[in-house]
Amino acid sequence: MKALLVGEYREGKLLESTYELVGFAQKLGCEFELFLVGTEAALPQVNAKLYLADVATVGEYNPALHKQLILDAVDKANADTVVFLHSSSGWDLAPRVALALGAAQLSEVVEIKGDGYLLPACNAKLRRTVKAATGKSVITLQAGAFMPAEQSGAPQVEKLTTSTPAQSEFLGYEQAEAGQVDLGKAEIIVSAGRGVGKPENVAMIQALAEALGGEYGASRPVVDAGWAPHDRQVGTTGQVVSPKLYVACGISGAIQHLAGMKKSEFILAINTDKDAPIGEVADVLVVADIKQFAPALTAKLAG
Amino acid sequence: MNILVCIKQVPDMESRFKVAASGTWFEESDLAWRINEYDEFAVEQAVKLKEQLGDADLTVLSIGPARVKEALKKALAMGCERAVNIVDPAAAEKDSFQIASSIAAFAKDKSFDVIFTGMQSQDRGSGQVGVLVAELLGIPVLTTAVEFEYTDGSITVRRELEGGLRAAVKASTPALVTCQLGLNTPRYPTLPNIMKAKKKELLEIPIGELLKDEARLTTLALAYPEKKGSALVLEGEIGELVDKVIGILKEKTSVL
């Protein structure tokens, strides 16, 4: 087995997730080479062959071009497996590459299992073991599921170019509007999930956060529903946090949320469902209705 | 303009899932079914685009057994003109490539200008089908849209990236857009629209007429995650739970 690892680069920087791909290949014990659309100024520190396409020429988001360059690299590396991170870049590119290679795609791999892989299903309530039925395969890895490799060494760079026509035009990046609060710095965060039931109940979570001397946060559905502002969102598309205490209120534990908070020192979860995936990362799981538990805890802390 | 929106019917994710006797999928009886959440945003965006243009034609498609008609009827009540059920009682056994290939086979001679899908399903979450359909049809695809605009044959979307960053990208029609949560606010069908939906066309096509490809992925097993969580589970009366939690926070953390 030989893998081509597709590194990630954004706005002048190599993304740390690139080392998770290397960590995965090392865990699998397979030969690997890397591919990156980036610059010579931000190369991954890995002792391996690196196929490098110049971001200034091919653009940071130009899937038709990136696909062709990756296919060229697969050919040169004689790779049978292409590995992406399951990210906004990875899930956009991986199916294109899989189709062109006639390969199976295994999305959001969380573990290696025998000669197959484990994938989450139904909001991480279940796990599927799958295997490619094709000679070649394309894999995307769940963010944070594999330990990043140590950063050491220097790649042997081979440059790639393409003249494939573009199908879409990249107009630029936009930062979501900056908020008032930086959850990354908070030592205590109390977050509201869908289980709080209705917008008015977010105030109850806010009150508990104040009683504990911390900030309140929210899961994606709560923010999407407009019950809390975006700067309060914890998760891969919001903020990644690591407070001393994280209190997850009525949060079932979708993968994207877990990825944003699982490095917290101590995690207290309150959920009516004893089997909720949040129990996988929590230190303490209180099986209770948050609408009863939060006010009771707030009152006790105040009293 | 000719618009297609593809939806999947999935179980309510709050359900308690049981592994089926086959060992490779979950038991489908006793589950409540609904439109995949991401696809509701896709349907809403398709209806909004139709309303913007005035004279657009909007088809909604779903692959699956007879029960998916309920999801199709909801989409019709939200504003789609006609529904297509690609009838496949064994849809759960198909891989993403086979599902995409069936949709592409249906769409290839129908000149859709814009195709919408959710960015992923809630049950399988592979995130492949939309991209594969576009690639099979040879049209551009813009994924993970949280904003959508259409002007004179050109689509601009904001893609959601990690950490609060967005990317603005543009493509010409025909094109496919995969929809992320938060793209819009899906409407509730009104009673008059539910009544009107009953009279709308619902076409059935057997999967065998469209699908010619073998699966590329084999599912070996479906199981509950191994419990590696060492969470202390507390149950009981609220007052006692509160006291226990305060005790634990005092003992194990430095915050109280």
Q: Which residues of A touch B176 (CB under 8 A)?
A: none
CB contact under 8 A, B140 and A168: yes
Identify the pLDDT of residue A303: 81
Gap from A121 CA to chain B (nearest CA, Å) = 5
Residue A171, C-beta contacts closer than 8 angstroms, at least 6 positions apart? B156, B167, B168, B169, B170
CB contact under 8 A, A296 and B246: no
- Chain B residue with minimum CA distance to A139: B126
Kindly report, residue by residue over A112-147, the tens digit of the pLDDT.
Answer: 999 899 999 998 889 999 999 999 999 999 988 999
Concatenate the DSSP letters of all residues of chain B into one string: -EEEEEE-EEE-TTS---B-TTSSSB--TT--EEE-HHHHHHHHHHHHHHHHHSS-EEEEEEEESTTHHHHHHHHHHHT-SEEEEEE-TTGGGS-HHHHHHHHHHHHTTS--SEEEEESS-SSS----HHHHHHHHHT--EEEEEEEEEEETTEEEEEEE-GGGEEEEEEEESSEEEEEPTTSS-PPPPPHHHHHHHTTS-EEEEEGGGT-----SEEEEEEEPPP----PEEE-S-HHHHHHHHHHHHHHH-S--
CB contact under 8 A, B221 and A128: yes
Cβ-Cβ pairs closer than 8 A, A with B, add up to: 256
CB contact under 8 A, A127 and B16: no
Quote the DSSP letter at residue A186. -
Nearest to B168 among A174, A280, A282 (CB): A174
CB contact under 8 A, A104 and B217: yes
CB contact under 8 A, A287 and B231: no
Cβ pair B176, B133 in contact under 8 A: yes
Q: Respond yes or no on whether ipTM tops 0.90.
A: yes
Q: Which residues of B touch A65 (CB under 8 A)?
A: none
Whole-prediction pTM value? 0.92
Q: Which residues of B touch A99 (CB under 8 A)?
A: 97, 132, 135-136
- State the amino acid at position A281 in one-letter form: V
Q: Which residues of A touch B238 (CB under 8 A)?
A: 288, 292-293, 296
**With 90 as the cut, is the pLDDT of residue A168 above it?**
yes
The rounded mean pLDDT for chain A is 94
Cβ pair A46, A32 in contact under 8 A: no
Q: Is A42 exposed, middle or buried (0-12, 13-18, 19+ CB in 10 A)?
A: middle
A132 reaches B (C-beta below 8 A): yes
- Chain A residue with minimum CA distance to B122: A122
B160 reaches A (C-beta below 8 A): yes
Those of residues 163-202 in A touching chain B at CB distance below 8 A are 167-176, 187-188
Kindly report, residue by residue over A33-84, the tens digit of the pLDDT.
Answer: 999 999 999 999 999 999 999 999 999 999 999 999 999 999 999 999 999 9
3-state helix, strand, coil split of chain A in percent (to 5) is 30, 30, 35
**With 80 as the cut, is the pLDDT of residue A179 above it?**
no
Identify the pLDDT of residue B143: 98
Identify the pLDDT of residue B106: 98
CB contact under 8 A, A173 and B255: no
pLDDT in tens, chain B (256 residues): 999 999 999 999 988 899 999 999 999 999 999 999 999 999 999 999 999 999 999 999 999 999 999 999 999 999 999 999 999 999 999 999 999 999 999 999 999 999 999 999 999 999 999 999 999 999 999 999 999 999 999 999 999 999 889 999 999 999 999 999 999 999 999 999 999 999 999 999 999 999 999 999 999 999 998 776 679 999 999 999 999 999 999 999 998 8
Gap from A290 CA to chain B (nearest CA, Å) = 10
B151 reaches A (C-beta below 8 A): no
* Cα–Cα distance, B231 to A278 (Å, whole number): 9
Identify the pLDDT of residue A178: 64
Average pLDDT over residues A183-198: 94
